[in-house]
Amino acid sequence: MSKIALISGVTGQDGSYLAELLLEKGYTVHGIMRRSSSFNTGRIDHIYLNNPGFRDKRMFLHYGDLTDSSNLNRLVEKIEPDEIYNLGAQSHVQVSFEVPEYTAEVDAIGTLRFLDAIRETGIKTKFYQASTSELYGNPLNTDPTPASGLPIPDYRLTELSPFRPTSPYAVAKLYAYWITVNYREAYKLFACNGILFNHESPRRGETFVTRKITIGVSRIMAGKQDRLLLGNIYSARDWGFTPEYADGMWRVLQAGKPDDYVLATGETHTVREFIEEAFAQYGETLTWEGKGIKETGKLSGSKKTVIAMDPKYYRPTDVKYLCGDATKALKELNWAPTVRFKELVKIMMEHDRDL
């Protein structure tokens, strides 16, 4: 008998790679998709629509929404999954400042709805919650950034580091984290948090900074766009490659006991470094001028301004520095990412240059 998985957020970046991985492992995969006025299955069409084998036998899509309890109850009862991966979320941090209540409904209460569906139906299943490095926020709220001229921090965040969320998204995810722990302890559910640091790929949404940069730089170099407008280019992120993180999610649910794990590369870079590395794929270097909102990046040869700042991309509060320590995942799950920063940028740039 093949195992049965239910994935919320199957149409998103992570959901699409996870569905692929589970199908490869022989699972039957059920995905929850939202009703939309335009097609929203672009990331999974290659495994669903274009592959009759999967469509007929091992992959199924169901309309649903994390704001709809009865829908989640029905799906859990009907599908009786062995494993549930709750990846669905309003996942954009800046957007969460515009729609804080909706973000809480989906990201926080949506997680509770799922856990309660498991509890009420009594289905024996494992539950994975897509937790995030955004939970850490700015631990001291005074951490220096490269822009300040002070050395950037060099600590790494673990499962034991304190949380200090700094956006409506992160606060909603904090509730989801703790309700997952609470249902594990109170009702003995096999419920786990993966605390994932940023992970990127050619399927990353186009409004997240890495993909915005790889698409923007490709368009600039193809003469289709003059410049790229950005916000805080001094925040530092621990960026990994999504397919490796999908494998990590699966490993979290294969552990001997339910627990919470950090998945990260342990290497951090600023947004500005990501931009420089993207242009380096074309053999270009940048000269930076000005400070703050007036800062620009010019191509060193032609002196053409290709990077400029726009106030609309600055957040009311932003996480300045993230770098994770995935030692526990290495020891207990044998999980270790191999794709590092330069290779990640190369993979994404090669894809978007062709696009």
Footprint of ligand GDD on this chain (CB under 6 A)?
Answer: 91, 93-94, 132-134, 197-198, 207-209, 212, 230-233, 235, 237, 271, 313, 315, 318, 322
Sheet strands (E) in the chain: 4-8, 28-33, 59-63, 83-86, 126-132, 190-196, 199-200, 228-230, 236-237, 240-241, 260-263, 269-270, 286-289, 296-299, 305-309
The terminus-to-terminus CA distance of the chain in angstroms comes to 40
The reply to whether 169 belongs to the active site is yes
Q: Which is nearer to ligand NAP, 66 or 286 (CB)?
A: 66
Rounded CA separation 8/114 (Å): 10
The residue type found at 222 is: A
Q: How far is the CB of 172 from ligand GDD (least distance, A)?
A: 11
Taking the complex as a whole, the smallest distance from the CB of residue 123 to ligand GDD amounts, in Å, to 28
28 versus 198: smaller Cβ distance to ligand GDD: 198
* Rounded CA separation 191/132 (Å): 16
Residue 9 sits in the site that holds ligand NAP (CB under 6 A)? yes
Q: How far is the CB of 29 from ligand NAP (least distance, A)?
A: 14
Stretch of 13-21, 77-85, 117-125, 340-348 contacting ligand NAP, by CB under 6 A: 13-21
- From the list ligand NAP, ligand GDD, none, pick the one residue 318 interacts with, judged by a Cβ distance below 5 to 8 Å according to partner type: ligand GDD
Residue 132 is among the residues annotated as catalytic for this protein: yes
Q: Return the residue of 3, 34, 62, 351 that touches ligand NAP, per CB under 6 A.
A: 34
CA–CA separation, 163 vs 315, rounded Å?
19
Query: Which listed option, ligand NAP, ligand GDD, none, makes contact with residue 315 (CB within 5 to 8 Å by class)?
Result: ligand GDD
Task: Compute CA distances 157 → 93, 135, 274, 323, 342, whole Å.
Answer: 20, 11, 21, 6, 22
Q: Is 125 an annotated catalytic residue?
A: no
Query: In this structure, are residues 130 and 9 in contact, taking their beta carbons and an 8 Å threshold?
Result: yes
Alpha helices in 122-208 (DSSP H): 168-187
- The SS3 call for residue 249 is helix
Contact between 81 and ligand NAP per CB under 6 A:
no
Strand residue runs (E) in 14-171: 28-33, 59-63, 83-86, 126-132
The verdict on 67 binding ligand NAP (CB under 6 A) reads yes
Using CB under 6 A, which residues numbered 84 to 113 contact ligand NAP?
87-91, 106
- Options 183-191, 197-205, 276-284, 296-304: segment touching ligand NAP (CB under 6 A): 197-205
Residue with tokens 């592959």: 51
Shortest distance (Å) from residue 74 CB to ligand NAP: 14
With CB under 5 to 8 Å by kind, the binding choice for 36 among ligand NAP, ligand GDD, none is ligand NAP
- Closest distance between ligand NAP and the C-beta of residue 289, in Å? 31
Query: Which residue is catalytic, options 83, 134, 200, 276?
Result: 134
Please give the torsion angle defined by the CA atoms of residues 201, 269, 173 and 36, in that order, rounded to the nearest 10 degrees.
Answer: -30
| SS3 call for 217 | helix
Min dist CB 204 to ligand NAP, Å, is 7
Q: Which is nearer to ligand NAP, 8 or 167 (CB)?
A: 8
List, as own/partner pairs, every contact residues 148-153 make where C-beta atoms lie below 8 angstroms and the sequence separation is at least 24, other chains included: 152/236, 152/321, 153/321, 153/323
Of residues 125-184, those binding ligand NAP (CB under 6 A): 130, 132
In angstroms, the CA 229 to CA 226 distance is 10
**Binding to ligand NAP by residue 69, rule CB under 6 A?**
no
CB of 51 to ligand NAP, least distance (A): 19
Q: Which residues bind ligand NAP (CB under 6 A)?
A: 8-9, 11-15, 32, 34, 36, 40, 65-67, 87-91, 106, 130, 132, 196, 198-199, 205
What is the set of active-site residues?
132, 134, 169
